Amino acid sequence: MYNEPRFMPVGDQALLMELGDDIEEGCNACIKGMIELIEEVGVKGIIETIPSYRSILIYYDPFVTDFNETVDRLKKIYGRLDIKSVEKGDTVIIPVLYGGEVGPDLQFVARYTGLTEEEVIDIHTSMDYLIYMLGFAPGFPYLGGIDERIQVPRLETPREWIPAGSVGIAGRQTGIYTVDSPGGWRVIGLTPVKLYDPHRDIPVILRIGDYIRFRPVTVEEFDEIKKGVESGTYYPEVLRGGAG
């Protein structure tokens, strides 16, 4: 993380507040805290903020404010920011059916890493993953820090269709596809939870700074949860103030 944030103009309606140039938890907490403060204080002219691993893209209305004025205000807010007071995110428990038809690459991952399928699942479910940012597709979480023992390369040829809910791993990353899309990650399982549903009051249930913990389920439990999701009666379990 930088000692002082950098501010850069982005066209005539936005600016970039860059806090670092790497993927690290401290930076993420800072970004989360900064956005909360901006919302709390209500900075004149700011329309929308888009957090990412290391920066915040800030849209403003140039009829109301400009780059210099907004930067001055943001610097003042940053001066008030106390990372220690940024609340730890919640941990969302995501049930996953691993392997078989819904996790076609689990076998490959086991073979590649020299582990059994059960060991791969154990390792994948043994830690909480920080949600650094959402992007690529609606509600798609970028999760940090996957265990070295189960790191595998991407598919050489991406699949043309990966169904929403698929849990994938690639390199140091793991994530959950939120809409049907092409993709090159190794798919090891499927969750019945809809992380993105445009017709729900809150279309995206994850927030940056929260954590995800994967929990393996049986086919029976998967089917039961799926029914609950479809009838709107199932909500994923959330541990407040995260054990992450």
Identify which of residues 66 and 122 has a Cβ nearer to other proteins in the complex.
Answer: 66
Least gap, CB of 125 to other proteins (angstroms): 24
| Residue 95 beta carbon to other proteins: minimum distance, rounded to whole angstroms | 22
CB 86, min distance to other proteins, A: 17
Q: Which is nearer to other proteins, 100 or 182 (CB)?
A: 182
For other proteins, the closer of residues 32 and 222 by Cβ is 32
Supply the minimum distance, in Å, between the C-beta of residue 212 and other proteins.
Answer: 15
List residues binding other proteins (CB under 8 A). 8-14, 16, 18, 21-23, 35, 47-57, 59, 62-63, 66-67, 133-140, 142, 178-179, 181, 196, 198-199, 203-204, 208
Give me the least distance between CB of 53 and other proteins, in Å please: 5
Q: Considering the complex, state which of residue 99 and residue 183 has its C-beta at the smaller distance from other proteins.
A: 183
- If the CB atoms of residues 203 and 228 are measured against other proteins, the closer one turns out to be 203
- Rank residues 74 and 121 by Cβ distance to other proteins and give the closer one: 74
**3-state secondary structure labels for all residues of the chain:** CCCCCEEEEECCCEEEEECCCCCCHHHHHHHHHHHHHHHHHCCCCEEEEEECCCEEEEEECCCCCCHHHHHHHHHHHHHHCCHHHCCCCCEEEEEEEECHHHCCCHHHHHHHHCCCHHHHHHHHCCCCEEEEEECCCCCCEEECCCCHHHCCCCCCCCEEEECCCEEEEECCEEEECCCCEEECCEEEEECCCCCECCCCCCCECCCCCCEEEEEECCHHHHHHHHHHHHHCCCCCCEECCCCC
Q: Work out how close the CB of 145 gets to other proteins at its nearest, in angstroms, rounded to a whole number.
A: 14
